[in-house]
Amino acid sequence: MGGQADGQAREEQEEQEAGPEVRARVLESFGRQGLMAHLGARITRIAPGSVHILLPHRPELTQQNGYFHAGATSAAADSAGGYAALTLFPATSDVLTVEYKINLLAPALGDHLEAVGTVLRSGRTLTVCRLDVFAVRAADRKPVATGQQTLIRVEAPPR
């Protein structure tokens, strides 16, 4: 029963939008990420404990068979989880990845990838997130990767 209740709480959390201060902080931080800019990624949803990142298909992001490269898939998933965690942290905090594991479920082929980071547990120091990546083509949304991530809350550096 606890697992079902946890899943329902996450779904309800996902439906909410983050407040304007949190949105601004996440978007400002995301804007400083050179890799995400280089990949052409953008955030499409910010909710408490959940962030979605869209990665458009481009030939530069593919491997030899034309699928999205696992590196691009993993980078988008890592950032989605990190920003999901950041939505629950105080404004004076920042986030760093401690570790993550990705399972590639299927070749990633589509118009874009959607990486979704969802906080499973937010602690004082460590936070654990679920990572899901979908290949999207028109109305078809196919799971292509899943994983888990541990993040550490740190003090934000002075800017």
- Per residue in 73-100, pLDDT (tens digit) is 999 999 999 999 999 999 999 999 999 9
Range of 96's domain?
2-155
Q: What is the pLDDT along the chain (159 residues), one digit of tens a residue?
A: 455 544 544 454 556 898 999 999 999 999 999 999 999 999 999 999 999 999 999 999 999 999 999 999 999 999 999 999 999 999 999 999 999 999 999 999 999 999 999 999 999 999 999 999 999 999 999 999 999 999 999 998 887
Total tally of structural domains belonging to the chain: 1
What order do you get walking across the sheet with 93-104 strand by strand? 42-47, 50-56, 112-122, 126-137, 140-155, 93-104
Identify the CATH number of the domain in which residue 66 sits. Answer: 3.10.129.10
